[in-house]
Amino acid sequence: MSSSSAYCCFLVVVAGLGALVPRAGAEGAAGSSKAEYSLFRPTPQHLLRELSTDRPDQTESPYTVDAGRFQVEVDVLNFVFDRDPAAGSDVRTTDAAVAAMNFKVGLTHRTDLQLMADPYVRSRTEDRRTRSVQTVSGFGEVTTRLKFNLWGNDGGSTAFAIMPFVKWPLSASQVRNGETEGGVIFIFGCELPKGWGSAVMTEVDFLSDGQGGRTTEFINSITFAHALAAKLGGYLELFTVMGDAPGFKWRGQIDVGLTYAWTDDVQLDCGCNFGVTRSAPDFQPFIGVSRRF
């Protein structure tokens, strides 16, 4: 079996295990009564849980979209700025993504399906020593994710979810590697004293090394959130990436952002991720919006 087939099988097994895990933890009357709803029998308005999104922080949410409901989360604008002064060089990179989106649909009261796409990405690399500039742009990657909430979706002080994902092997281009890649994400959320909330995420990515083999990256993050006003919230996050590829350098970021609950079904957000290691991007500002239907 090829390495590509092997890790795709691994993802299928993980997905199956997530579906078979016993219903851990009591969710109360609301969670029990919602088990009858599905994609073709939408959850009624009065039983909808509070809007929860996988953005704007990089730590995913352990909560799923209610059965039969749809949700779209959009990075309206996202920029990445980085300067690499290694070995006396002066290379500056500016990446931009426009309208990157995550479209979700609730399949059951514990499971949602997600389709992520980057309609337009652009990368500009400038070497100030050689006075050369390279710019590439185009349609980016498409990824499918399946989130299983194991407990806490509709009540309780903690929640846990598992989310396998696969990146589609679209044809290679200047902005796509044309390879099937994927991984699995584990998310634990909890309530803290004094109105604080937190989530912890561990992610394992199986990536192409560009030579027919595979490398693995390990992502770990923790975020803390608190309400700042009636509809305004803020968060602080630590995000790290490690990998087993030769010469891989540990990347760390400190992220901050704001969320504003425009309505019960609409959330606006903005923020910036700051690199704290040389291998991480210097800073990454963004604005976004999420809408539930």
Closest CA to 62 of 112, 12, 134, 122: 112
Region 85-97: mean pLDDT is 85
DSSP state of 152: -
Please say whether the beta carbons of 173 and 153 come within 8 A.
no
Backbone dihedral region for residue 138 (phi beyond 0: left; psi -120 to 50: alpha; all else: beta): left
Domain positions in the chain are 3-292
247 residue type, one letter:
G
- Residue 210's pLDDT band (boundaries 50, 70, 90)? confident
Q: How confident is the model at residue 87 (pLDDT cuts 50, 70, 90)?
A: low
At the fourth CATH level, the homologous superfamily of domain 3-292 is: monomeric porin ompg (2.40.160.40)
pLDDT cut 90: percent of the chain above it: 83
Q: What is residue 86's predicted lDDT score, i.e. its pLDDT?
A: 72
Structure confidence by residue, pLDDT tens digits, 51-66 = 999 999 999 999 999 9
- The whole-number pLDDT of residue 4 equals 44
Say whether the peptide bond before residue 62 is cis (omega within 30 degrees of 0): no
Pair 100, 118: CB distance under 8 Å: yes
